[in-house]
Amino acid sequence: MKSQFLTAALCVLPLSAVIAQTCSKQSPAHTVALLELYTSEGCSSCPPADKFVGGVHRALTIDQVVPLALHVDYWDYIGWKDVFARRAFTERQRWLSNAGGSRTVYTPEIFVAGQELRNWSGGLPAAVKRINEHPAQADIGIALGKLAGNSLPIEVNARAAQDAAQRGKLFVALYENGLATEVKAGENGGATLRHDYVVREWVGPIALGGDGKARLSRALSVPLGAAARNLGVAAFVQSDQGEVLQALALPLCGG
C-alpha cells in the first residue's frame, strides 16, 4: 500500500485539550467486524450497495460491525468527478485485493475484516457473526473532544500482543452520514445519490511500537457545514497481511 508510515505516537495537541468535554469508548473483548465498501458516484451499480451499507445498523449494532464507505477515483474519467473520492482509497482497495490474491478491483466491492465478501446482500450477517465469535487480538480506545468549527480533537490508543504488534498498524477515519449529491453527468446523471459512513478524513498507517502500543492525539479536519449528529470516528488495527485485529467506532458526543 503506497502510504507513508507515521510514528507510533503522533501528538499534535496536549492531552488536556483532547479530553476536555469528551465522550469515550473502549473496544469489547470480541472482535468487531470492519466493513469497507469501495464505491463511486460514477458507477451505476453502486447506489444499491450504498443503500445497503447505510442500513447496516438497522440489523447489526455498532459493536458488531463498523462500516466505512471509501470512494475511489478511477471512474472519475467517465463524466462525473466524485467529490468524496481519493486516490488513497483506490490504492487501499488495490492493496486489499492483492493481499487476497486478486489483481482485480471493481465497484461496488465490499471487504469484511480484510476479506472480500461477494455475497454481501445475503452473507453479511453470517460473516459478522463468525468474526464476532473470535476474541480480539488488539484493544482500542477512542476519546473525542468538543467540535469547534471545523476542528475535532481526538485521541486514539491502540494496543496489541507483542507478536501481533510486530505486524499491526493503526488506522483512524472520520466518517460522515446523511450526505446527498445531485449527479449531473455520467452513468448516474440526473439521480440524487445518498451516502452514509463516507470517509472524510483518513490517518494511517501508524506503526505499533515495540511495546505493542500506538497513540494518535490530534485534531481532525471536519468538512464545512457538517452536522455533529452525522459524524463519527472509527479506528482499527490491521496486520500487514490484511487481517483486521480489532475495530471500533464512536459517533460524536451528543450527535
State in Å, rounded, how far the first CA of the chain is from the last one. 33
Strands 109-112 and 115-116: antiparallel
Which candidate, 233, 38, 35, places its Cα nearest to that of 131?
35
For 162, counting Cβ atoms within 10 Å of its Cβ (0-12 exposed, 13-18 middle, 19+ buried), the class is exposed
Strands 168-176 and 231-239: antiparallel
In the block, which residue shows the cell 468538543?
A: 146
Spatial contact of 128 and 60, defined as CB atoms under 8 Å apart: yes
Angle at 190 between CA 82 and CA 87, to 5 degrees: 10
Give tens-digit pLDDT for 151-201: 999 999 999 976 654 568 999 999 999 999 999 999 999 999 999 999 999
Q: Is the pLDDT of residue 5 over 60?
A: no
Confidence at residue 2, expressed as pLDDT on a 0 to 100 scale: 38
Give tens-digit pLDDT for 8-62: 333 334 444 455 557 999 999 999 999 999 999 999 999 999 999 999 999 999 9
Give tens-digit pLDDT for 86-106: 999 999 999 999 998 988 999
Give tens-digit pLDDT for 200-227: 999 999 999 888 999 999 999 999 999 9
All structural domains of the chain: 9-251 (2.60.40.10)
Confidence at residue 12, expressed as pLDDT on a 0 to 100 scale: 37
